[in-house]
Amino acid sequence: MGLNVLFNPYTMTALDGVAYGLLLFTIAAGLTLIVGVAGVFSMAHGTLYLAGAYLAWQLADGGWTGLALALAVAVLLGALGGAGLAAVVRPLIDRPLDQVLATLGIAYIAADQFNQVFGAEPRSVDPPRAVAGSVILGDYQYPIYRLLFIAIGLVVVGGLFWLVERSRAGAVVRAVVADPGMAAATGLRTSAVRVGVLVGGGVLAVGAGVVGAPVIGPSPGVDTTVLAYSLIVCVVGGLGSIRGALLAALGVGQTLTLGVAIVPGAAAFILAAAMLVALTVRHRTALPGQPA
């Protein structure tokens, strides 16, 4: 009786929301650092996720070897993508509108190439056979891979928190976020930090595409959807804030799953309201002379 009360349609949907939120966090954490640290407004971040999802569809063969190969290629592709993006936006570092236009053009070109190479129909990616089944939770069956993905997401959360808040590299990143001019005056190579953040963000996005493909599979338009939700996470959580990104991503995940189940059709309004409140509060609490 206890388990039946604990596991009901709403708690199972909420569990889906946790998985969805952790996937969004893995993607958006890179974007919030790219914008907050590197000052790059990248509209091609969803493209990196879609590239990883297509990698999983091509290379993951139902075994751990295929998944490991896809992840290895994802690290290389994400690093190259981040470095390439750094090279493209380097002349535009103080021109955010031009950054948006340039990266949006890259996203459109990449989307067209994806359609040419992989076709316009949605693709499904199966998890490794060893975790392709379901586990019984009360009266319900829940995919094992989704539980595994939640565990992977929690590891990513812990790793990012340690990297940003406990490591020396994280201290450098926080210094650049807090005051880029002062960081440069103390001898920190802010340009190298920006490139490193772009590379790290690219690796996170493509890697998320590989492990998240069974959750959000590759198809035309997924890059735009992922980008939109990632931007919402960045706005609500605050640029450069890993803690904020985690809370915002979990909130967006619950809105898109549990919220849709409880109040169908209201998810878009809830997300829009959350962005408006976050922007309003951030503007009113900003210090005089400091950006909101």
Give yes or no for residue 288 having a pLDDT over 50: no
Task: Give the highest mean pLDDT range of 25-39, 76-90, 272-286.
Answer: 76-90
pLDDT at residue number 205: 94
For position 194, what pLDDT does the model report? Answer: 82
Closest CA to 159 of 1, 19, 26: 26
Rg (CA), the chain: 19
Q: How many residues are present in the chain? A: 292
| Residue 140 pLDDT greater than 90, yes or no | no
Indicate the Cα dihedral angle 73, 76, 78, 79, nearest 10°. Answer: 170
Task: Tell which residue, 31, 26, 77, has the closest CA to residue 208.
Answer: 26
pLDDT score recorded for residue 4: 59
pLDDT for the residue numbered 206: 95
Confidence of residue 282 (pLDDT cuts 50, 70, 90): low
pLDDT for 5 equals 63
Q: Pick the residue with more confidence: 92 or 268?
A: 92
Tell me the pLDDT tens digit for each residue of 121-132.
888 888 888 888
Q: Model's pTM, two decimal places?
A: 0.87
Q: Residue 68: is its pLDDT beyond 60? A: yes
85, 103 contact by CB (below 8 A): yes
What's the rounded Cα separation, in Å, for the pair 179 and 287? 14
Taking residues 17-30, report their average pLDDT.
92
Give the Cα separation of 196 and 187 in Å (integer): 17
For residues 241, 272, 104, 67, the Cα torsion angle rounded to the nearest 10 degrees is: 60
For the chain, the three-class secondary structure string (H helix, E strand, C coil) is CHHHHHCCHHHHHHHHHHHHHHHHHHHHHHHHHHHHCCCCCCCCHHHHHHHHHHHHHHHCCCCHHHHHHHHHHHHHHHHHHHHHHHHHHHHHCCCHHHHHHHHHHHHHHHHHHHHHHHCCCCCCCCCCHHHCCEEEECCEEEEHHHHHHHHHHHHHHHHHHHHHHCCHHHHHHHHHHHCHHHHHHCCCCHHHHHHHHHHHHHHHHHHHHHHHCCCCCCCCCHHHHHHHHHHHHHHHHCCCCHHHHHHHHHHHHHHHHHHHHHCCCCHHHHHHHHHHHHHHHHHHHCCCCCCC
Q: Which of 126, 123, 78 is nearest to 220 (CA)?
A: 123
- Given a cut of 80, is residue 8 above it in pLDDT? no
Task: State how far the Cα of 186 lies from the Cα of 230, in Å rounded to an integer.
Answer: 33
Between β-strands 140-143 and 134-137, what pairing exists: parallel, antiparallel or unpaired? antiparallel
pLDDT tens profile 155-207: 999 998 888 888 888 787 777 766 677 777 777 777 788 888 899 999 999 99
For residues 37 and 134, the model is more confident at 134
If one compares 23 and 189, the residue with the highest pLDDT of the two is 23
